[in-house]
Structure 1
Amino acid sequence: MHFSRNVTTCRVDFGRTEVIDNTLNPDFVRKFILDYFFEERQNLRFDLRLEKPLTGIPGKKCGTIIVRAEEVSNCRVRSVMLQFCGNKLDKKDFFGKSDPFLVFYRSNEDGSYTICHKTEVVKNTLDPVWQAFKIPVRALCNGDYDRSIKVEVYDWDRDGGHDFIGEFSTSYREMSRSQSQFHVYEVTLLSCLVDTELSFLDYIRGGTQINFTVAIDFTASNGNPSQPTSLHYMSPYQLNDYAMALRAVGEIIQDYDSDKMFPALGFGAKLPPDGRVSHEFALNGNPQNPYCTGIEGVMEAYYQSLKSVRLYGPTHFSPVINHVARYASAVTDGSQYFILLIISDGVITDMAQTKESIVNASSLPMSIIIVGVGPAEFDEMIELDGDEERISSQGRYAERDIVQFVPFRDYIDRRGNHILSMARLAKEVLAEIPDQFLSYMRTRGIKPGPLPPPYTPCPPPAINPLLTRRVSRI
């Protein structure tokens, strides 16, 4: 069965269920999670597809699709790995033994049951050991650890008429505690391994420090800052695009930085007093201490730089990326994570070096946000984003996606509401940061520091004891 949803004038495809053979009463395992919007009418469409064409008879009922919906609750336990075995199950086949399998059902709020998992069939045995399987706890009990879970035991038949052996009931809490019971006719829980969901905020509360660095494009393609046509023009009435992008992103990120001290860099300008070109200079004029106090300090340093440096070129990204990467490479234990915001107006002139820098940085605790300002084409910046194709350099691929590129013009409010423009931009450019952060921590096996004791209705499981359930037979 195929499932889709209409959104305004287009159809969003959510996918299809598994195929169930030889039955007119299928009970599908696969579930679909949808976002619910109170203010929208969300039309759902279900397409039933058979191996042979199905021709409906006008005026005659051809079957019913039953849909059960339930609000998904938040659950800190992400998934659980379970393994069961059977002992002395009933013999149902005339020739040979049984071919047993288990079917798991989650109880619903209305008292009904919804299938949530089927094990594989173990052929010709009364003492099966089923393979361990991983299932989201949300699918098993929707976060209610005491909700009843029904397990049915069947003997598989080729024609689909599986013989019922028996059933038992348990709960996630009971399985996670591995409470032991023993009976002559039994299904035994061999192991219960819990995978707890760790969030971005768990690491922040556990002491991980977010280090935010700003890098601003001072190349001549931005135009003379004294002219209103320049992207760097300092109007007494409103922020320019650079300042809006800086404030929009910085004001959110600074809440995750405990000391609110941010390095601020510029690139592509001639510096006083000798006019040398720099692609990695401190906005506050102090290369030994480029830190600014809060976003307001960064804004002030940016405005002062516009008065003292001469816009020049070309546009090199790799020096500022390598600058932050040097610091990130020194702290890989999860205690710090680095975010580099690059704001630029045009074509990258060191594309090969930038790709190499990104590939090198992809193994570090680091993310890169690139905001494109102005009307230029940003094809090269889009390429760096890596959403469609993973970044590579000299045959090496980026270990993970660490770049998010956004053209500011796509989020500017047409009515001139700059607060709304900044909110839209910040939401877009920061959307990928938590996942990028967590991908680094997970691949390195880094756990957050001690957290304040959270409320949890389920204590950590004890894995060693076995849970055995009596099978009620017919």
Structure 2
Amino acid sequence: MCAPTLLTSHPGSGIPGKKCGTIILLAEELGNCRDVATLQFCASKLDKKDFFGKSDPFMVFYRSNEDGTFTICHKTEVVRNTLNPVWAAFAIPVRALWNCYPLHDFIGEFTTSYRELARGQSRFNVYEVRGDGYMGMGVTLLSFAVEAEHTFLDYIRGAEPHACAGNPSQPTSLHYLSPFQLNAYSLALRAVGDIIQDYDSDKMFPALGFGAKVPPDGHVSHEFPLNGDASNPACHGIAGVLEAYQRSLRHVQLYGPTNFAPVVNHVARSAATVLDGSQYFVLLIITDGVISDMAQTKEAIVNAAKLPMSIIIVGVGQAEFDAMVELDGDDIRISSRGKVAERDIVQFVPFRDYMTGGPGAGLSMAGLAREVLAEIPDQLLSYMKARGIKPHPHPSHVP
């Protein structure tokens, strides 16, 4: 089963009046199949290729193309010093159809098809390997299984985002409440919130503030409800979160230190109650980059990495965000007390990179959306796959 191949050429025209050569584009249409096949092979009585030892065999799988060429699909690991190797099971998309093809020191080859492999372990999948006159070699399919490869879109129908926000009377403050334009926090909250809110079904977002003295006794809190209701901190839509944030600024006194760990742990406690994949939590933290509890926050993130949640940190203002980049963990996976996070769950986005001309002037929404959502799909899939959770049926698909 080979996909159609398109071959086309177009003369280059980079320099007027000169022939610049020919560009050849080769494209192949792939089937819209999301099934993934898991296979395992072993071999017996292979030809000896090493002078002092036996052989170090591995298998390379190629898909045959329409034009007679081959495209590599998979290469197994090398099994050292044996003529009877057993290779580890591997997964490959069903749409990547293949034939075996020789590479490196040639031991032998055989041909098969997806239809044959789909029969599983049987007499049909015991292959005589043809080598350079050497007889008796064989390859056996040990196992074959196919299952659907689920995507981010299969899971997000049940997602549950969370939103959290950080002298509002001073024009120099990022929290300044101007009657003419949104402050930096409000602008970031609205822009990012409008992007992620469509992944939630009921549009009710628990919204917390951190780093403020709160009424009635003026104690410093790092996880206070923006709407003032500790029993139900949820706000309706991002507009409701924005309204609660602006109202909260008139009643609380912003106060250090700035601790992230309490809000991370707050959402983690909720995520820990629904480990079956029915909900996935997204914590949005908007910050100016100052953090007073780096060690505790790292520990909270490491613990949260095993839960169904992700964290988006949006940095506002012109400060250096080295600490936020460290929490992102793209280059070095975050760790705490010698324990490395099970998976990367943090995405840091500097909001200023998507402003054109300063607050209120312009905003690259396409670029912002791409950056905000860049890692969420893989983060969600990594959690679901690691725990063998399949998507819940969509109501319209339930008989």
Shorter-chain TM band: 0.7 to 0.9
User: Deviation of residue 383 (structure 1)?
Assistant: 1.9
Of 68, 80, 97 in structure 1, the residue corresponding to residue 38 of structure 2 is: 80
1:374–1:135 distance in 2 versus 1, CA, 3 Å: same
- Kept in 2: contact 1:82–1:193 (CA 8 A): no
User: Deviation of residue 398 (structure 1)?
Assistant: 2.2
Aligned to 1:281: 224
1:112–1:336 distance in 2 versus 1, CA, 3 Å: same
User: Deviation of residue 254 (structure 1)?
Assistant: 1.6
Aligned to 1:134: 90
The one-character-per-residue Cα deviations of 1:5-58 (angstroms, maximum 9, x if unpaired) are: xxxxxxxxxxxxxxxxxxxxxxxxxxxxxxxxxxxx9xxxxxxxxxxxxxxxxx
**Alignment pair present for 1:413 and 2:356:** yes
The one-character-per-residue Cα deviations of 1:263-293 (angstroms, maximum 9, x if unpaired) are: 0111122223333322211111111111111
Aligned to 1:290: 233
SS at match of 1:425: helix
Of 229, 251, 257 in structure 2, the residue corresponding to residue 314 of structure 1 is: 257
Aligned to 1:262: 205
SS at match of 2:250: helix
User: How many residue pairs align between the two structures?
Assistant: 358
- Which is bigger in relative contact order (C-alpha 8 A, separation at least 6)? 1
**Alignment pair present for 1:212 and 2:161:** yes
The one-character-per-residue Cα deviations of 1:234-268 (angstroms, maximum 9, x if unpaired) are: 33443322122212222222212111100011112
Aligned to 2:305: 362
- What amino acid does structure 2 have at the position aligned with 1:261? M
| Structure 1: segments with no counterpart, 5+ residues | 1-40, 42-66, 94-98, 142-148, 218-223, 455-474
**Alignment pair present for 1:248 and 2:191:** yes
SS at match of 1:265: strand
- What amino acid does structure 1 have at the position aligned with 2:150? L
- Kept in 2: contact 1:263–1:291 (CA 8 A): yes
SS at match of 2:303: helix
- Kept in 2: contact 1:245–1:425 (CA 8 A): no
* Inter-partner Cα distance in structure 2 for 1:435 and 1:311: 36
SS at match of 1:336: coil
Q: How does 1:44-55 map to 2 (within 5 A)?
A: none
* Inter-partner Cα distance in structure 2 for 1:411 and 1:418: 11
* Inter-partner Cα distance in structure 2 for 1:75 and 1:368: 32
SS at match of 2:363: helix
**TM score, norm. by length of structure 1:** 0.64
* Inter-partner Cα distance in structure 2 for 1:70 and 1:210: 36
1:179–1:310 distance in 2 versus 1, CA, 3 Å: closer
* Inter-partner Cα distance in structure 2 for 1:261 and 1:340: 13
Of 103-112 and 411-420, deviating more is 411-420
Aligned to 1:203: 155
SS at match of 1:252: helix
Q: How does 1:9-408 map to 2 (within 5 A)?
A: 69-71=26-28, 73=30, 75-83=33-41, 104-114=61-71, 116=73, 131=87, 134=90, 136-137=92-93, 140-141=96-97, 149-151=98-100, 162=106, 167-168=110-111, 170-178=112-120, 186=128, 189-194=141-146, 196-205=148-157, 209-217=158-166, 224-408=167-351
- What amino acid does structure 2 have at the position aligned with 1:396? K
- Kept in 2: contact 1:84–1:191 (CA 8 A): no
* Inter-partner Cα distance in structure 2 for 1:298 and 1:213: 10
- Kept in 2: contact 1:72–1:138 (CA 8 A): no
- What amino acid does structure 2 have at the position aligned with 1:405? F
- Kept in 2: contact 1:116–1:139 (CA 8 A): no
1:84–1:314 distance in 2 versus 1, CA, 3 Å: closer
User: Deviation of residue 343 (structure 1)?
Assistant: 0.8
- What amino acid does structure 2 have at the position aligned with 1:215? C
The one-character-per-residue Cα deviations of 1:200-230 (angstroms, maximum 9, x if unpaired) are: 222234xxx322222211xxxxxx3233322
- Kept in 2: contact 1:122–1:130 (CA 8 A): no
**TM score, norm. by length of structure 2:** 0.75
1:373–1:81 distance in 2 versus 1, CA, 3 Å: same
The one-character-per-residue Cα deviations of 1:145-174 (angstroms, maximum 9, x if unpaired) are: xxxx444699x9xxx5x587x754x43244
- What amino acid does structure 2 have at the position aligned with 1:437? L
- What amino acid does structure 2 have at the position aligned with 1:194? V
* Inter-partner Cα distance in structure 2 for 1:242 and 1:266: 12
Of 229-238 and 369-378, deviating more is 229-238
| Structure 2: segments with no counterpart, 5+ residues | 1-12, 14-23, 50-54, 129-138
1:419–1:442 distance in 2 versus 1, CA, 3 Å: farther
CA-atom RMSD in angstroms: 3.9
* Inter-partner Cα distance in structure 2 for 1:122 and 1:318: 48
* Inter-partner Cα distance in structure 1 for 2:140 and 2:44: 6
SS at match of 1:225: coil
* Inter-partner Cα distance in structure 1 for 2:322 and 2:64: 51
Structure whose alpha-carbon radius of gyration is higher: 1
* Inter-partner Cα distance in structure 2 for 1:167 and 1:113: 15
SS at match of 1:382: helix
Of 278-287 and 417-426, deviating more is 417-426
- Kept in 2: contact 1:268–1:312 (CA 8 A): yes
